[in-house]
């Protein structure tokens, strides 16, 4: 089944058929176009912004998809390999994170089969969205870059947003970054123009005799053609007797303000919750854990709650059915810290053997041998007494023999 087929299926099942009256024709979008128009409409085209957004995506793709509960057993099996037949979970989470960070909104639609049963998820990237009402039911209408539209009941879509204030349904645009992006663009353009000016020659000269304007223009063209033309240029500048007081105009240097560049970086880092260590993968475990607490974990919670509400009914939720996006936070530790955690928790039965192996990116032991918690013999439950003491009582001895 292709992309267009399953999107058409969205409008055929589960009550979404009423949305067909709102859409005259649907066609799958294929081009990239930014949604919110800030800094010329291309916030993702800034290198610093893209690197900051990508830092979030690199950590979000580590999240592990978990379905808990007995409901939708067939769906759980199908989702083990990925959210749909085109994406793996890392690629899906990476794209979701990119859309969420750049647009402050993320819409995930269900993929339905011919019977209307849920079979996967797909992140939507429309150029414009709005909420419309039909028969007292809110619909989310997606306007794609090619001008086509699709509508679906809002309740059937996972909606994840950030910076929400005025709208009941959407997050705010990235307008606070406009001034910073303008400064960044002007700085880059200034550097480019400075390089261009420095690589060229400009002269001024005084004509030795009075001439008509057209003659002056012809003299300029003749000089340029002779000295700088593709055929006439020989690396030697020639001046005839009509010119005197010839002087080269030195291009003015455009120094780069280090403080201004630092301010631009800090503004972008503050807006996206990153820093240079995160971008360049030089952060230690303390900074990585702080980034996880402040950025990755909130995104995981929002994804978990939104997909849980989309997949399960309230009754199924109350029965313990949920969707989680979890991460092994111990992976953020360095090797020495992992060894210490393994020693302190592993021999107390707090974590399984396979969990210890996972810290070092080792595969699980075969045949489920790693699904055991090792424990040292001197540890025992305080309310149960020492196991060897009980054995001494059974043997009738005092344990000192």
Q: What is the domain partition of the chain in residue ranges?
A: 201-248, 333-401
At 306 the pLDDT is 94
> Using CA atoms, how far apart are residues 356 and 339, in angstroms rounded to an integer?
9
Answer yes or no: pTM beyond 0.75: no
> Using CA atoms, how far apart are residues 90 and 87, in angstroms rounded to an integer?
8
> Using CA atoms, how far apart are residues 111 and 106, in angstroms rounded to an integer?
16
Strand runs labelled E in 30-164: 64-68, 105-112, 118-124, 128-134, 137-143, 149-153, 158-161
- For residue 211, is pLDDT > 90? no
Of 2-16, 50-64, 289-303, 366-380, give the lowest mean pLDDT range: 2-16
At 89 the pLDDT is 94
Half-sphere exposure of 148 (CA within 13 A, CB side): 15
Q: What is the mean pLDDT of residues 30-54?
A: 64
Strands 158-161 and 203-207: unpaired
How much is the mean pLDDT over the chain?
76
Find the largest Cα–Cα distance for the chain: 130
Q: What is the mean pLDDT of residues 75-100?
A: 92
Q: What is the pLDDT of residues 240-279, one digit of tens each?
A: 556 666 676 665 555 667 888 889 999 999 999 999 999 9
């Amino acid at each position: 089944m292709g992309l267009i087929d399953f999107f058409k299926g969205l409008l055929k099942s589960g009550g979404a058929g009423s949305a067909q009256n709102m859409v005259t024709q649907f066609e799958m979008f294929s081009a990239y176009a930014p949604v919110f128009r800030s800094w010329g409409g291309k916030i993702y085209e800034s290198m610093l912004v893209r690197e900051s957004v990508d830092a979030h995506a690199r950590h979000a793709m580590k999240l592990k998809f978990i379905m808990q509960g007995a409901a939708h057993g067939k769906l759980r099996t199908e989702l083990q390999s990925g959210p749909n037949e085109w994406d793996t979970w890392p690629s899906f989470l990476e794209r979701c994170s990119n859309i969420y960070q750049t647009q402050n909104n993320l819409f995930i639609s269900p993929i339905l089969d011919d019977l209307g049963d849920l079979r996967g998820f797909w992140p939507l990237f429309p150029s414009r969205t709005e909420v419309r009402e039909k028969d007292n039911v809110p619909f989310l209408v997606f306007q794609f870059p090619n001008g086509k539209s699709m509508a679906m009941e809002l309740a059937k879509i996972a909606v994840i947003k950030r910076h929400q204030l005025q709208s009941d349904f959407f997050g705010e645009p990235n307008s606070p970054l406009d001034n910073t992006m303008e400064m960044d663009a002007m700085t880059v353009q200034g550097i480019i123009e400075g390089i261009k000016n420095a690589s060229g020659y400009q002269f001024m000269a005084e004509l030795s005799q009075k001439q008509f304007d057209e003659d002056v223009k012809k003299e300029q063209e003749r000089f340029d053609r002779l000295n700088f033309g593709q055929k006439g240029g020989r690396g030697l500048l020639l001046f005839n007797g009509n010119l005197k007081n010839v002087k080269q105009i030195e291009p003015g240097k455009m120094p780069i303000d280090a403080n201004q560049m630092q301010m631009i970086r800090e503004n972008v880092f503050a807006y996206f919750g990153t820093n240079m260590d995160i971008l360049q993968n030089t952060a230690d475990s303390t900074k990585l854990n702080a980034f996880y607490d402040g950025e990755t974990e909130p995104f995981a919670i929002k994804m978990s709650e939104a997909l849980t509400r989309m997949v399960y009914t309230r009754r199924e939720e109350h029965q313990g059915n949920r969707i989680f996006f979890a991460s092994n936070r111990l992976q953020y530790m360095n090797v020495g810290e992992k060894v210490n955690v393994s020693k302190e928790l592993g021999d107390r039965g707090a974590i399984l053997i396979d969990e210890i192996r996972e810290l070092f990116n080792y595969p699980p032991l075969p045949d489920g041998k790693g699904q055991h918690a090792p424990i040292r013999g001197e540890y025992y439950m305080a309310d149960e007494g020492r196991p060897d003491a009980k054995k001494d009582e059974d043997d009738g001895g005092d344990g000192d023999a």
